[in-house]
Structure formats: structure tokens, C-alpha cells
Amino acid sequence: MVCVIIAHVEVNVEKRIGRRNFLGKAAAVAALPLVAREGIADSPQPSPKRISVEEHWTNPDMGGSQRPRTWLTETRLGTTPERVRRIGDLGDLRLSDMDRDGIAMQVIGGTSLQAITDTAKAIELAKKSNDVQAALIEKHPSRFAAFASIPTQDPKAAADELERAVKQLGFKGAMVGGRANGEFLDLDKYRVLWERAAALEAPIYIHPSDPTPDVLEPYASRPVLYGNTWVWGVETATHALRVIASGMFDAYPRAQIILGHLGESLPSLLGRFDEGLSSVKPESKGIKKVLSAYIKENIMITTSGWYQPEALVCAISAMGADRIMFATDYPWVDASLAIKMFEQTPMSASDRGKIYHGNAERFLKVKV
């Protein structure tokens, strides 16, 4: 798979350019350096329907759900009070931001519980958080949907809470904040969760979080690589690859993962993955298909976070527009910036509509 770099491309979303036609044109300038994009449209097109699917909310009454992160205070600028206010709001403040940015609906990820070491507490807080979130969403059902918080410290309890949240509360899947107790979701003990998720057609969104201290330690002398610079993406991509390599999708082919940040770099490495797998002894593979097939069939990706337009072009080329959903990573990323980057990305009008709203409507069964 070749990822093209685009230099100074004029974007006209009214002109339908097919993926193959566009990539053929873009390849002609692939060798040119990336330049400033003053010539690319800066403003969104009139009234597109936008559904954003990695938008964050944390129950303000729930403390202690984050792992200790001394590197945050040592190496990073503090978050703003405005962002702190917004992450605990599911009312007028958030709705005002959505109206300003033309967001028709947010699919909200709930409180991350994976850092909690007390399993009973995690189970209790999952139910409480989901109930509070459901009650808030009930006030604005046309503007908000949700991913459930699930206590992956106990796989059976996580599966049960996912089912309750989907069937009783109308949630669209679950969002997990990385590993619980240092364990990836590829272990046999989690088969009950993936089996339930497949039966419910409820995707599991694996959101970045810190790796275990032993994995984090080699970065200590290069703290610029902590967090969303590099470590989170590598940890999350590794998590998804481990689930694939475990054969979980052979056992439960209808199970689905969602990855943000354009798939945590996985789409750009499909050829490399398959090349590597071709050199593995057959008895050591443990999976029925090539890695790229699972990534294309069992992983949806979103546009959350900062990215450059050429990265989204690469993701569309690798995954297809049907496997990508729009997201802004609210409130951590300015939604207007996310929209600007999306609007600057050359694609057909059909693909733009799929990513902005059509795929979320189909895959998450949301209605706006």
C-alpha cells in the first residue's frame, strides 16, 4: 500500500472524484514536498451533517479512575479550566459548542474505569456511570448517544454490563481505557466479552492509555514521546493487534473494534504486517487470514485527534471510506480544527458523506 503526499491540492467537494481517479492524480505529485495549504478551502461546506464518535465525558462525581501520571505534571502543559468544565457537561455548554461547530450528534465515551484495581468498585462505578450518562442523554436524545463504561477487571461482569447498557439503556457499544490490571483483551478469559459483543453487534472502542510501568520505563529519558506523541498510539495499536493475533475474530467474526486517531497508524502498515506474517511458520500463526484482512474487516477507525489531510487520504486508500467515522476528540481537540482538517482532505462527495455521518448511522445505528 502506497501512501501519497499531496502538495497544494484545490478541493471542490461538489466535484465527484472517485478514489482511484484521485489517487492517480495525487501520485503525480507524491514526490513533491508538502507545502503550506493556503490554497485549500479553509471553511466547511454548507450544512453537512456531522456525527462525531469519540467525544468524551467523565462523571464529575467519580474520582480516582485515572492512573497516576507524574509525567503529565513534569513534562506537559496543564489543561485549561474550560476543558475541565466541558468534559463534565452534557448540557447547554456542550450543545452550544456543537451548534457552533455544526455537530448534529456526539457519541459519548463514558468514564474510563480500567485504572481501578478494586474489581468490585469498578463494577459498581460502571453501572452508576452508565445510568447517570443515560439519564443525561435522555434529555437530548437527538443530540447524544453513548458508549458504555465496562469493568474489564471482571470479564463476565464487563459482558453483562455491556449487554445491560445496550439492551436497556440504548448504548451503542463500549469504550475501554486500555488495559485493566495490566491485561490485554486478547486473553482467553475475555472470550465471554467478545462473544457477547459479537452477539449484540456492539463494538468495543479501545481508547489510548498509558502502558504498564515496565513498558513506559524506556521512554523515561525521552519524555517528549510520552502520551499522545507516541506511547499511547503504540500501546493501543499493540492492543488491537494482540486481539487479532489471538484468533478472537476467527472465533467471533462479527466482533468489532473501533480505533481512534486514524487507526493508531495501523492502516499505513498493512503491507508490512502481511510481509511479516508470510515469514512466520504455519504452525506458529494461530490465525486463519492475513493481518490486513482482520484490520479491514474487524476494525473501524475514526478521525479523532490532530492529523494532516494526507494521513486521512492514506487511511481511505488502505481501509476504504466505509470503515472510517468522523470524530473530534472533544474537548481535548478543538472541533473546529478537526473539521478544518477534514474539509481540506480531497475525497469524493460520497466518501465525505459516509465518513461524516453515513457510517455512524449504519454501523452504530444512530439516528439524527
Residue 9 lies in a domain: no
Q: What is the pLDDT of residue 69?
A: 77
CA dihedral 6, 232, 279, 185 (to 10 degrees): -130
Residue scoring higher pLDDT (184 or 11): 184
Residue 325, Ramachandran bin (φ over 0: left; ψ between -120 and 50: alpha; else beta): beta
C-beta separation of 294 from 243 below 8 A: no
Instruction: Verify whether residue 101 is a known catalytic residue.
Output: no
pLDDT for 80 beyond 60 = yes
Residue 127 lies in a domain: yes
Average pLDDT on 48-69 reads 81
Q: What is the pLDDT of residue 41?
A: 41
Residue 184 lies in a domain: yes
Q: What is the pLDDT of residue 10?
A: 34
Q: What is the pLDDT of residue 20?
A: 52
Q: What's the whole-model pTM score? A: 0.88
Structural domain of 345:
48-363
Residue 338: give its domain's CATH number: 3.20.20.140
Over its C-alpha atoms, the chain yields an Rg (Å, rounded) of: 20
Range among 8-22, 37-51, 160-174, 214-228 rated most confident: 160-174
* pLDDT band of 63, cuts 50, 70, 90: low
What is the rounded CA–CA span in Å between residue 109 and residue 23? 34
pLDDT digits (tens, 9 = 90+) for 315-350: 999 999 999 999 999 999 999 999 999 999 999 999
C-beta separation of 196 from 157 below 8 A: no
What is the rounded CA–CA span in Å between residue 161 and residue 174? 9
C-alpha angle 7/12/18, rounded to 5°? 85
pLDDT for 28 beyond 60 = no
* pLDDT band of 111, cuts 50, 70, 90: confident
Q: What is the pLDDT of residue 362?
A: 98
Residue 5 lies in a domain: no
Q: What is the pLDDT of residue 66?
A: 61
Residue 25 lies in a domain: no
- Residues of the chain with pLDDT > 90, as a percent, come to 77
Residue reference for cell 463494577: 123
Mind giving me the DSSP string for 306-342? ---HHHHHHHHHHH-GGGEE----TTTS-HHHHHHHH
CA–chain centroid gap for 56, Å, is 11
pLDDT for 62 beyond 80 = no
What is the rounded CA–CA span in Å between residue 264 and residue 281? 27
Q: How many domains is the chain partitioned into structurally?
A: 1
Q: What is the pLDDT of residue 48?
A: 86
Residue 8 lies in a domain: no
Mind giving me the DSSP string for 180-237? BTTB-TTSGGGHHHHHHHHHHT--EEE------HHHHGGGTT-GGGTGGGTHHHHHHH
Average pLDDT on 108-134 reads 94
Catalytic, out of 118, 329, 334, 351: 329
What is the rounded CA–CA span in Å between residue 335 and residue 102? 10
Residue 328 lies in a domain: yes
pLDDT digits (tens, 9 = 90+) for 237-292: 999 999 999 999 999 999 999 999 999 999 999 999 999 999 999 999 999 999 99
Residue 6 lies in a domain: no
